[in-house]
A and B are shown apart, each in its own frame.
Chain A
Amino acid sequence: MTETEFLLWARGPAFQGATVIFVLGVTFRLLEILLLGRKPNLAEPRGSAMLGGLRTIVTRSFPDAGTHKRSAFTHYMGYIFHIGFFITLLLYAPHILVIEKAFGVSWPALPTTVVDATAVITMIALIAVLLHRLKDPVLRFLSNFQDYFAWFLTILPLLTGYIAFHRVGLPPPALIAIHILSVELLMVVFPFTKLMHAFTLFMARWYNGAIAGYKGVNS
């Protein structure tokens, strides 16, 4: 297989396969959760479950003073790597083209130097959270294989993308193919690991808030 064939395979059948598994997995997991259903709550409602849910989606998306005081490091690094990851993913011109091909929508790109710097900052933040996880005895005790695997899957596209952008080591088509494959690996594993939180977090926040809202209290 030549490097061009390798890139075409990564962009073609491999990406299609990864898309099928990703969409299948996400739909399956969401349906599985939603179809579990809940027992009807027979208690008299003391407030709106819907409003409580929506309020919690907003409030839990911003840092609260208590959490910040307890674990400022995790807090900052968590925000940095999440925001950095989304800037790199959504505002780099070649990535926007992929989104345009898949969904038909596009938006202006950021300058490559900004995206490049963001990717570096994101990787530093990811390495920092890993070191923190390894150093902190409680975090280390609570961590299992999946936690480290999810970390690896997250940093891999950033690292391979950085190398492909700077064209180091291998012919460029091979570097791009490796980068695309790292994204495909993330897509395939995504629905079946804790990375699924990207889809379930707002649902979970809404549900927490809805329980409290029904009882007429703030969650």
Chain B
Amino acid sequence: MKNDQTLGEILRDQGISRRGFLKFCAATASLLALPPGSVTAIAAALESARRPSVIWLSFQECTGCTESLTRSDAASIEDLIFNTISLDYHHTLQAASGTGAEDARQSAMKENWGKYLLVVDGSIPTGNPGFSTIAGISNVDMLMEVAAGAAAIVAVGSCASFGGIPHASPNPTGAVSVADLISDKPVINVPGCPPIPVVIAGVLTQFLTFGIPELDELHRPMAFYGKSIHDRCYRRPFYDKGLFAETFDDEGARKGWCLYKLGCKGPTTYNACATTKWNEGTSFPIQSGHPCLGCSQPDFWDAGGFYQALSIPTGDISRAAVYGAGAGIAAGALMGALNRGRKSHAVRVHKKVTIDDLEKEHEK
């Protein structure tokens, strides 16, 4: 595959019809909540887009994000677009290893300096540089080196976006997110543990078509992270009616009632799971009967327990109340004794006034 081919040419070479391509553009437009008129704009932009060079760096991660992307079931146009990007470095997927692999990264950077897209999955340890290295280079050094020539950075997964599980308390490696280290380049966060494949593809399409997409305050594309799971959840009417599953096997659970009481983080989680769903739109965690873990939010691992409802106190309230009552009884008893002392003192020093005293007072 030649690097100077446009995306349109590549797709045609792969046997994608004009009709199929436009259908994809229409689907992308609706996914991004764009008006129908934008379909032609997307088509034109994608058609003429040059095959972008992508360098994918994997740091402290579990490969779940790459798995999510590569295990997306049937071959789709999204996959083909992924096939058409020039994935010049991805140490899990590339055949080359050792010096060959690092040479590929260096030459891709050199040839496309200032233009390539950097994709990062995994968090970056800032403790001992030896905690995570690739070819003897620490993650921080490699990120800084590659980021310097990138047009933009896409942080795929919650680890790269927010530190994720390595960042969880007590964060032994001093793990941080990409945005914690890079401030002079646009960083697009695509969080999730893992992110939805179609969202990764959608963000890439959006980037190729319109450049940097509109982002929320956590650098997430608004098109996919603009609404909470709760607002788009098909179980929402049960929440509003006050119908909840109390356990995983009660009548409420069987009837598909709201999972809020079982710890669902839908109300505070922003992602597209409830709309795009997973496995080609088959289902998503809540649909399969499990509360949302909030995996696309920062610190989801330390957010007070997966099965604890959002509103409830995390501490031992009964013990706090007992301490309070104990101290209150002690303080109240002390104050009561002081008050009684004051009262009996007042009685002791009280002088009775007689009629004679008053008459004497009057005579004065």
Interface residues of A (CB under 8 A from B): 2-5, 7-8, 11-13, 15-17, 19-32, 34-37, 93-95, 97-98, 100-102, 108-113, 167, 171-173, 176, 180
Contact = CB atoms under 8 A, between A and B. Distances in A.
B262 to A, nearest CB: 11
B297 A4 contact: yes
18 contacts: A7-B268, A11-B304, A11-B311, A11-B314, A16-B315, A16-B316, A23-B321, A24-B327, A35-B337, A36-B340, A93-B260, A94-B309, A97-B309, A98-B313, A101-B312, A172-B267, A173-B297, A176-B311
Interface stretch (B35-43, B188-196, B237-245, B348-356): B237-245
A101 B244 CA distance: 16
Given A2-B299, A4-B297, A23-B324, A31 B329 contact: yes
Nearest to B322: A23
Interface in B300-338: 300, 302-304, 309-318, 320-321, 323-325, 327-329, 331-333, 335-337
Among B217, B267, B300, the one with the most A-chain Cβ atoms within 10 Å of its Cβ is: B267
Contact of A94 (B300, B302, B311, B316): B311
Contact of B242 (A100, A109, A176): A109
A98 B268 contact: no
Contacts of B313: 11-12, 15-16, 19, 98, 101-102
B328 A24 contact: yes
A36 B228 CA distance: 55
Contact of B333 (A31, A100, A101): A31
A35 B260 contact: no
Given A102-B313, A112-B240, A167-B228, A31 B324 contact: no
Among B311, B327, B336, B337, the one with the most A-chain Cβ atoms within 10 Å of its Cβ is: B311
Contacts of B336: 31-32, 34-36
A23 to B, nearest CB: 3
Q: Which 4 A-B pairs have the closest CB atoms?
A: A31-B332, A27-B328, A35-B336, A23-B324
A4 B217 CA distance: 14
A93 B333 CA distance: 38
Interface residues of B, number: 46
Interface of B: 217-218, 228, 239-242, 244, 260-261, 267-268, 297-300, 302-304, 309-318, 320-321, 323-325, 327-329, 331-333, 335-337, 339-340, 343
Nearest to A26: B328
Given A8-B302, A12-B313, A102-B318, A28 B239 contact: no
Nearest to A108: B242
Contacts of B337: 35
B328 A176 contact: no
Nearest to A37: B340
Given A30-B332, A32-B332, A4 B298 contact: yes
Contact of A20 (B309, B327, B329): B327
Contacts of A13: 315
A27 B329 CA distance: 6
B6 to A, nearest CB: 40
